[in-house]
Every structure is written in C-alpha cells, then in structure tokens.
Amino acid sequence: MKILVTGGCGYIGSHTATELLEAGHEVIIVDNFSNSSPEVVDNIKEITGKDFEFYPINLLDEENFENVFKENFIDAVIHFAALKAVGESVEKPLEYYNNNIGSTLVLFRLMKKYNVNNLVFSSSATVYGNPITCPITEEFTLSVTNPYGRTKLIIEDMLRDICKVDKSLNVAILRYFNPVGAHKSGKIGENPKGIPNNLMPYITKVATGELKELNVFGDDYETHDGTGVRDYIHVIDLAKGHLKSLEKLNENPGLVTYNLGTGKGYSVFDLVNTFSRINGIDIPYKIVGRRPGDIAECYSDPTKANKELGWSAKYGIEDMCKDSWNFYRGK
C-alpha cells in the first residue's frame, strides 16, 4: 500500500513510518518539523535502508498539501500531525483549535476530493477525561479537561458524523495510553523541544544531568505507593498497532475504535526505580504538589484490539526504560 503519514517525523509517526517501510509498504511523509527535525528523515532511511517521499509542509498550506495528493496515488492516510502539549493548549487554545482542527479539515477535504477512503487517526486516552474506574474500555463515557484533549475528541466526533453518511470510508480511531521507549537502533525516539511535560522524557533529562531532579507530582494518590499510575506502552508496540489496524481496515468497513495500551498500570516510582535499576543511574527526585488536572490512575483494557486486530503489546517496562535511555544518551 502507498501510505501518507502526516507528522511522520514526530515521535510516534517516525516509528510507525519505519515499521511500514520494513513491512514493505510505500510511505509518503508530510511534516513541518514543529516538534521534530529534518535528521529524522535521514534516520528513518538509515534504519530501513529504504527511500520514501518527503514533503516539508504544513497541512494548513492547502495548495502545497494538495500537490501531495496530485503527485501520488494514496491508498491510506495515518494522521499524526498535531500539537500535543496539554499545558500549552490551555495557554493558547486558539492555536490548538486552528492547527489541530484546521489541518484535519484540510486533510479530510483532500481525501474526499482525491477519493482516498482509508484512514487511521491518532487519538489519545485523554478522551476518557477522569474515568470513574480502571481498566478503561472503548465504551467508557468520553469527556475532556483541556483544549488539546478537546481537539482529539472533536476530530473523533467529526469522524463519527462523517462515517454515518459516507459509507465508502474505512476509519480506525486509535486511543493511545502513555507511549514511551524508542527504536532499538537508538536512532529515533522522543526528543521534545524545551522542558518536557511528560514523565519519561523528564527522567531521561535528569539522567543526563540536563535537569537537576524530577518533580514527582504528588505521593498522596490512592495508588499502591501514592504516586500516579499510568499504562506505559512501548512506542514500537504502538507502531505495530497502526500496521495491524491498517491491514484490517478493509475487513472492518466503517469506523472502529481501539485502545492501544498494555492493560498494566505502573506508578511514577515504579518507572523511576526500574529506570535506575536497568540503566544503573540514580534519578534524584523530590515530591511536590499534584499537577492540576492529573488523575490517580489510568490504564486500558486492550481486549478489543487483542481480539479484533490480533495485536498485543510485547515489550515490558524494563525494555521501555532501557530503550528510552539508549536513544536519549546518544543525543
């Protein structure tokens, strides 16, 4: 298949593009490097030994984006391109709505115009808001607590509306839990610009000494050690979930939604202790107040993806910690 990957230089996009190329698919990447860099293009080529089309453009630039559709016969789209920092989205809601929703509208218009009917959409467990219990199934009530999350939910809602009337569309909505880890080669991984918001990138920056210590946001949650519990999933497992969804799109016409998680919850201390043990590096930390908007625990029930896609996460928390560090220490 010839697959357009928007945001293909980003963290999850680059790993998915790599898996697609290794599985023998043709890939076209569109990325404007808003949270990535041109070297990712070369690194994907180096890992896979394969070439692909690359367009350094913003999806909002409809004229140039349309050329991608004119110049290629696209079978399917995997749509990652989006701004994704929760705190920033609260500060700059308009920017988030304009970028995430606006660019998706351009994409959907072009897909319709050029008769591209297969789509995998990158959503997030953030659409479950404050879940009443765990594990979380796809049937849980949806709600969001910040503009970033709202952009994901709005796009999901748009897709549900569009698919009701356009029966030619095949769409998989994938709700990721907490992606961590990196490619085994150490050539691609998560390298956020500025001070990271998420736990694993913060830990890796403490490990190099770039940041002095980790702030643990609360140790008084109702969890096994008082710190927040999340469903960390290796980015390679996540990437493979995209391949499986893509392969099944034609078997499951219409719209399908899957949780991509391991089904296991680990606390902040679990992650810090495993990182220290497996990599032999001490991670200094201090306990600070809870981060506004955080919840005690959030982990998936991945049964639906296990059964319907024949997919399950293979890597454990030790691999996640080892591979995150293997990538980041090479920076």
Q: Which residues are catalytic?
A: 148
Q: Closer to ligand UD1 by CB, 8 or 201: give it.
A: 201
Distance CA 86, CA 126 (A): 10
Q: Is 184 in the site for ligand UD1 (CB under 6 A)?
A: no
Residue 55: beta bridge partners?
30
Q: Is 276 in the site for ligand UD1 (CB under 6 A)?
A: no
| Candidate segments 103-111, 115-123, 212-220, 299-307, binder of ligand UD1 by CB under 6 A | 212-220
Q: Is 88 in the site for ligand UD1 (CB under 6 A)?
A: no
| Candidate segments 69-77, 186-194, 246-254, 287-295, binder of ligand UD1 by CB under 6 A | 287-295
Q: Closer to ligand UD1 by CB, 45 or 290: give it.
A: 290
Cβ at position 230, least distance to ligand UD1 in Å? 5
Q: Is 126 in the site for ligand UD1 (CB under 6 A)?
A: yes
How many residues line the site for ligand UD1 (CB under 6 A)? 20
Q: Is 79 in the site for ligand UD1 (CB under 6 A)?
A: no
| Candidate segments 48-56, 109-117, 290-298, 311-319, binder of ligand UD1 by CB under 6 A | 290-298
Q: Is 191 in the site for ligand UD1 (CB under 6 A)?
A: no
Which residue's Cβ has the minimum distance to ligand UD1?
Answer: 228
Among 268, 305, 309, 320, binds ligand UD1 (CB under 6 A): 268
Q: Is 134 in the site for ligand UD1 (CB under 6 A)?
A: no
Among 86, 106, 154, 162, binds ligand UD1 (CB under 6 A): 86
Q: Is 291 in the site for ligand UD1 (CB under 6 A)?
A: yes
The owner of tokens 């919850």 is 265
Q: Closer to ligand UD1 by CB, 280 or 289: give it.
A: 289
3-state SS of the chain? CEEEEECCCCHHHHHHHHHHHHCCCEEEEECCCCCCCCHHHHHHHHHHCCCCEEECCCCCCHHHHHHHHHHCCCCEEEECCCCCCHHHHHHCHHHHHHHHHHHHHHHHHHHHHCCCCEEEEEEEHHHHCCCCCCCECCCCCCCCCCHHHHHHHHHHHHHHHHHHHCCCCEEEEEEECEEECCCCCCCCCCCCCCCCCCHHHHHHHHHHCCCCCEEEECCCCCCCCCCCEECEEEHHHHHHHHHHHHHHCCCCCEEEEEEECCCCCEEHHHHHHHHHHHHCCCCCEEEECCCCCCCCEECECCHHHHHHHCCCCCCCHHHHHHHHHHHHCCC
Q: Closer to ligand UD1 by CB, 130 or 250: give it.
A: 130
Q: Is 198 in the site for ligand UD1 (CB under 6 A)?
A: yes
Q: Is 147 in the site for ligand UD1 (CB under 6 A)?
A: no
Distance CA 241, CA 231 (A): 15
| Candidate segments 128-136, 210-218, 306-314, 317-325, binder of ligand UD1 by CB under 6 A | 210-218
User: By the 8 A CB rule, do 100 and 134 touch?
Assistant: no
Residue 105: C-alpha distances to residues 62, 66, 78, 111 (Å): 10, 13, 14, 10
Q: Is 202 in the site for ligand UD1 (CB under 6 A)?
A: yes
Q: Is 74 in the site for ligand UD1 (CB under 6 A)?
A: no
Binding residues (CB under 6 A) for ligand UD1: these are 86, 124, 126, 149, 178, 197-199, 202, 214-217, 228, 230, 268, 291, 293-294, 298
